[in-house]
Amino acid sequence: MTIIFTGKDELDRDIAETVSGRQAYYADHLLEEKQADTVILSTNIETKIPFKDFLFELRRDNKRVILLVGDERSPYIGYALALGIYDLVFDPVTMDKVAEVYKYPRRFSDVAHLYLGLRGRVSFDSASGHKGFSSAAEGAGDPELAIGQLSGILKLMGRTSNKRNINEMLLDLEQIIIQQFI
Protein backbone atom coordinates (compact mmCIF):
# COMPACT_ATOMS: atom_id res chain seq x y z
CA MET A 1 0.00 0.00 0.00
CA THR A 2 1.22 3.49 -0.84
CA ILE A 3 0.46 6.52 1.33
CA ILE A 4 0.99 10.10 0.22
CA PHE A 5 1.51 13.24 2.31
CA THR A 6 3.14 16.30 0.79
CA GLY A 7 1.31 18.91 2.83
CA LYS A 8 -0.60 20.07 -0.26
CA ASP A 9 -4.05 18.48 -0.60
CA GLU A 10 -4.39 18.92 -4.37
CA LEU A 11 -0.92 17.47 -5.01
CA ASP A 12 -1.66 14.59 -2.63
CA ARG A 13 -4.89 13.78 -4.49
CA ASP A 14 -3.16 13.92 -7.88
CA ILE A 15 -0.33 11.67 -6.75
CA ALA A 16 -2.73 9.25 -5.04
CA GLU A 17 -4.68 8.95 -8.27
CA THR A 18 -1.49 8.52 -10.34
CA VAL A 19 -0.05 5.68 -8.21
CA SER A 20 -3.33 4.25 -6.89
CA GLY A 21 -2.35 5.22 -3.37
CA ARG A 22 -4.07 6.68 -0.31
CA GLN A 23 -3.84 10.23 0.88
CA ALA A 24 -2.76 10.86 4.48
CA TYR A 25 -3.94 13.93 6.36
CA TYR A 26 -1.12 14.29 8.88
CA ALA A 27 2.58 13.37 8.82
CA ASP A 28 2.61 10.86 11.68
CA HIS A 29 0.12 8.69 9.79
CA LEU A 30 3.06 7.72 7.55
CA LEU A 31 4.76 6.22 10.61
CA GLU A 32 1.61 4.79 12.17
CA GLU A 33 0.31 2.94 9.10
CA LYS A 34 2.06 -0.42 9.36
CA GLN A 35 0.52 -1.82 6.16
CA ALA A 36 2.14 0.88 4.04
CA ASP A 37 5.21 -0.35 2.24
CA THR A 38 5.73 2.87 0.25
CA VAL A 39 5.34 6.49 1.28
CA ILE A 40 5.52 9.56 -0.92
CA LEU A 41 6.26 12.76 0.94
CA SER A 42 7.71 16.23 0.60
CA THR A 43 10.48 17.87 2.57
CA ASN A 44 8.02 20.72 3.27
CA ILE A 45 5.78 18.83 5.69
CA GLU A 46 5.48 19.61 9.39
CA THR A 47 6.65 16.75 11.64
CA LYS A 48 6.80 16.39 15.42
CA ILE A 49 10.45 15.34 15.27
CA PRO A 50 13.19 16.78 13.04
CA PHE A 51 12.55 15.80 9.42
CA LYS A 52 15.85 13.91 9.09
CA ASP A 53 14.86 11.75 12.06
CA PHE A 54 11.39 11.30 10.57
CA LEU A 55 13.05 9.85 7.45
CA PHE A 56 15.14 7.59 9.67
CA GLU A 57 12.02 6.24 11.39
CA LEU A 58 10.32 5.56 8.04
CA ARG A 59 13.35 3.64 6.79
CA ARG A 60 13.67 1.77 10.09
CA ASP A 61 10.15 0.48 9.39
CA ASN A 62 11.49 -0.74 6.00
CA LYS A 63 9.28 1.62 4.06
CA ARG A 64 10.22 2.64 0.55
CA VAL A 65 10.40 6.43 0.52
CA ILE A 66 9.79 8.56 -2.55
CA LEU A 67 10.90 12.04 -1.57
CA LEU A 68 9.93 15.30 -3.24
CA VAL A 69 13.07 17.28 -2.38
CA GLY A 70 12.77 20.57 -4.24
CA ASP A 71 16.09 21.25 -5.92
CA GLU A 72 19.57 19.73 -5.69
CA ARG A 73 20.53 22.16 -2.91
CA SER A 74 18.05 20.66 -0.46
CA PRO A 75 19.65 20.05 2.94
CA TYR A 76 17.86 16.70 3.13
CA ILE A 77 19.51 15.04 0.13
CA GLY A 78 22.48 13.88 2.20
CA TYR A 79 20.24 12.34 4.83
CA ALA A 80 18.10 10.66 2.19
CA LEU A 81 21.10 9.15 0.45
CA ALA A 82 22.62 8.01 3.75
CA LEU A 83 19.37 6.15 4.47
CA GLY A 84 19.26 4.49 1.05
CA ILE A 85 16.51 6.76 -0.24
CA TYR A 86 17.31 7.04 -3.92
CA ASP A 87 13.78 7.78 -5.19
CA LEU A 88 14.13 11.55 -5.30
CA VAL A 89 11.83 13.80 -7.32
CA PHE A 90 13.14 17.29 -8.04
CA ASP A 91 11.18 20.43 -8.91
CA PRO A 92 9.18 20.99 -10.91
CA VAL A 93 7.17 18.01 -9.66
CA THR A 94 5.00 16.47 -12.37
CA MET A 95 2.80 13.41 -12.27
CA ASP A 96 4.95 11.90 -15.03
CA LYS A 97 8.09 12.22 -12.86
CA VAL A 98 6.32 10.74 -9.83
CA ALA A 99 4.87 7.88 -11.88
CA GLU A 100 8.27 7.07 -13.40
CA VAL A 101 10.05 6.97 -10.03
CA TYR A 102 7.19 4.95 -8.55
CA LYS A 103 7.24 2.42 -11.37
CA TYR A 104 11.05 2.27 -11.75
CA PRO A 105 12.81 2.57 -8.38
CA ARG A 106 16.10 4.42 -8.60
CA ARG A 107 19.42 2.67 -8.04
CA PHE A 108 22.56 4.04 -6.48
CA SER A 109 24.04 4.69 -9.91
CA ASP A 110 21.13 7.05 -10.62
CA VAL A 111 21.99 9.30 -7.66
CA ALA A 112 25.73 8.75 -7.25
CA HIS A 113 26.47 12.17 -8.77
CA LEU A 114 24.63 13.78 -5.85
CA TYR A 115 27.22 12.43 -3.40
CA LEU A 116 29.94 14.52 -5.03
CA GLY A 117 28.37 17.78 -3.85
CA LEU A 118 27.85 16.73 -0.23
CA ARG A 119 30.19 18.30 2.26
CA GLY A 120 28.01 18.20 5.37
CA ARG A 121 27.80 15.55 7.99
CA VAL A 122 24.65 13.63 8.89
CA SER A 123 23.42 12.24 12.18
CA PHE A 124 20.16 10.66 13.25
CA ASP A 125 18.37 10.14 16.53
CA SER A 126 15.59 7.61 16.86
CA ALA A 127 12.31 8.73 18.39
CA SER A 128 13.39 7.00 21.60
CA GLY A 129 16.51 9.18 21.78
CA HIS A 130 18.90 6.33 20.93
CA LYS A 131 21.73 7.51 18.67
CA GLY A 132 21.13 5.51 15.51
CA PHE A 133 23.69 6.88 13.08
CA SER A 134 26.78 8.71 14.23
CA SER A 135 28.00 12.00 12.95
CA ALA A 136 31.23 11.79 11.03
CA ALA A 137 32.58 14.53 13.29
CA GLU A 138 32.53 12.13 16.24
CA GLY A 139 35.17 9.98 14.55
CA ALA A 140 37.27 12.84 13.20
CA GLY A 141 40.95 11.98 13.39
CA ASP A 142 40.34 8.25 13.95
CA PRO A 143 42.71 6.40 11.60
CA GLU A 144 40.71 3.15 11.77
CA LEU A 145 37.58 5.01 10.72
CA ALA A 146 39.49 6.62 7.85
CA ILE A 147 40.86 3.24 6.73
CA GLY A 148 37.34 1.80 6.84
CA GLN A 149 36.00 4.71 4.80
CA LEU A 150 38.78 4.37 2.24
CA SER A 151 38.14 0.64 2.00
CA GLY A 152 34.48 1.38 1.30
CA ILE A 153 35.35 3.90 -1.40
CA LEU A 154 37.75 1.43 -3.02
CA LYS A 155 35.05 -1.26 -2.97
CA LEU A 156 32.63 1.21 -4.55
CA MET A 157 35.21 1.71 -7.30
CA GLY A 158 35.43 -2.08 -7.78
CA ARG A 159 38.77 -2.57 -6.03
CA THR A 160 39.94 -3.96 -2.74
CA SER A 161 43.00 -3.17 -0.67
CA ASN A 162 44.78 -5.08 2.04
CA LYS A 163 46.81 -2.00 2.95
CA ARG A 164 46.42 -0.49 6.40
CA ASN A 165 48.27 2.75 5.67
CA ILE A 166 46.05 5.72 4.88
CA ASN A 167 48.59 7.40 2.59
CA GLU A 168 49.10 4.23 0.54
CA MET A 169 45.34 3.75 0.26
CA LEU A 170 44.93 7.36 -0.89
CA LEU A 171 47.61 6.82 -3.55
CA ASP A 172 45.77 3.70 -4.75
CA LEU A 173 42.52 5.69 -4.90
CA GLU A 174 44.25 8.46 -6.84
CA GLN A 175 45.55 5.95 -9.38
CA ILE A 176 42.09 4.41 -9.82
CA ILE A 177 40.57 7.85 -10.40
CA ILE A 178 43.25 8.76 -12.89
CA GLN A 179 42.77 5.49 -14.77
CA GLN A 180 38.99 5.74 -14.87
CA PHE A 181 38.48 9.41 -15.53
CA ILE A 182 41.49 10.63 -17.47
**Band (140; pLDDT cuts 50, 70, 90):** low
Residue 134 burial (CB count, 10 A): 13
Rounded Cα gap, residues 150 and 144, in angstroms = 10
Say if CB 114 and CB 77 are below 8 A apart.
yes
- For the cut 50, the answer to whether the pLDDT of residue 175 exceeds it is yes
User: Which tens digit of pLDDT belongs to each residue from 67-96?
Assistant: 999 988 888 998 899 899 999 999 999 999
Rounded Cα gap, residues 106 and 164, in angstroms = 34
Say if CB 21 and CB 15 are below 8 A apart.
yes
Rounded Cα gap, residues 91 and 110, in angstroms = 17
- For the cut 50, the answer to whether the pLDDT of residue 134 exceeds it is no
Instruction: Say what angle helices 143-156 and 166-181 make with each other, to 10 degrees.
Output: 20
- For the cut 70, the answer to whether the pLDDT of residue 32 exceeds it is yes
The span from the first CA to the last CA of the chain, in angstroms, equals 46
Residue 40 burial (CB count, 10 A): 29
Residue 118: predicted pLDDT: 64
Say if CB 131 and CB 125 are below 8 A apart.
yes
User: Which tens digit of pLDDT belongs to each residue from 41-68?
Assistant: 999 999 999 999 999 999 999 999 999 9
Domains identified in the chain and CATH numbers: 2-125 (3.40.50.2300), 141-181 (no CATH)
Helices (H), 33-122: 51-60, 77-82, 95-103, 108-115
Rounded Cα gap, residues 60 and 10, in angstroms = 29
